[in-house]
Amino acid sequence: MLGRWRKYSAEEEVEAGLPKVFPRIWRYAFSLTGSRDGADDLAQAACLRAMEQASKFQPGTHLDRWMFRITHNLWISEIRKEKVRKGGGMPMVDAADIPDPKQDPERDYDRQEVLKSVLDLPEAQRVTVVLVYVEGYSYKAAAEILDIPLATVMSRLATARASLGRKFRDQRGMSRAR
């Protein structure tokens, strides 16, 4: 066990922190890949990369942000490989595939509708929404993870909110008309 009185090495900090950050990395990987199997593969690849590159981690900084960046970069690399291989798009996602053991089945319907709507957003908006609204990162931290300007994060979130707002207003209007 690591003591508080000594400085951790990068490798020790990565090794000790991976189990705690893994569920969040898996959830982010799921939002990227759209499937449980894809999320498993991507999250495991991110952990492997983190262990291989642990010496590059700065002890005392945010391991979770570093891991999200690794996960995002691996995903971008995978997309590029797929485009070269055959040119593909984002797989369809069923919001019911997202596990949440804390959720009560009676209250799950609205959550599933929101999640499905978020997963239907274009990828750039979807990953930004997940980082900021699900993972709780600041706009600045999300910009660093995604390696984009802060204004782009703000724009993506504003566009996503507008799109989701329209969708739910339209659904409400249709259900009242019935």
pLDDT tens digit sequence for 26-56: 999 998 888 899 999 999 999 999 999 999 9
Residue 152 pLDDT > 70: yes
**Mean pLDDT in residue range 94-123:** 65
**Mean pLDDT in residue range 142-146:** 92
| 9-18, 34-43, 167-176: least confident range | 167-176
Which comes out higher in pLDDT, residue 161 or 167? 161
Task: Please give the Cα distance from 21 to 72 (Å, whole number).
Answer: 15
Task: Please give the Cα distance from 155 to 161 (Å, whole number).
Answer: 10
Which comes out higher in pLDDT, residue 122 or 84? 122
Task: Please give the Cα distance from 105 to 88 (Å, whole number).
Answer: 34
**DSSP letter string, 112-154:** HHHHHHHHTS-HHHHHHHIIIIIS---HHHHHHHHT--HHHHH
Residue 176 pLDDT > 80: no
pLDDT tens digit sequence for 71-106: 999 998 888 777 666 644 444 444 444 445 455 554
Domains and CATH numbers, the chain: 7-92 (1.10.1740.10), 105-178 (1.10.10.10)
Question: Which pLDDT score is estimated for 34?
Answer: 83
Q: Are 127 and 90 in contact (CB under 8 A)?
A: no
Question: Which pLDDT score is estimated for 97?
Answer: 47
Question: Which pLDDT score is estimated for 6?
Answer: 62
- Average pLDDT of the chain is 81
Task: Please give the Cα distance from 5 to 101 (Å, whole number).
Answer: 37
pTM for the structure as a whole: 0.65
Supply angle C-alpha 90, 115, 26, rounded to 5.
Answer: 65
| 3-7, 90-94, 100-104, 110-114: least confident range | 90-94
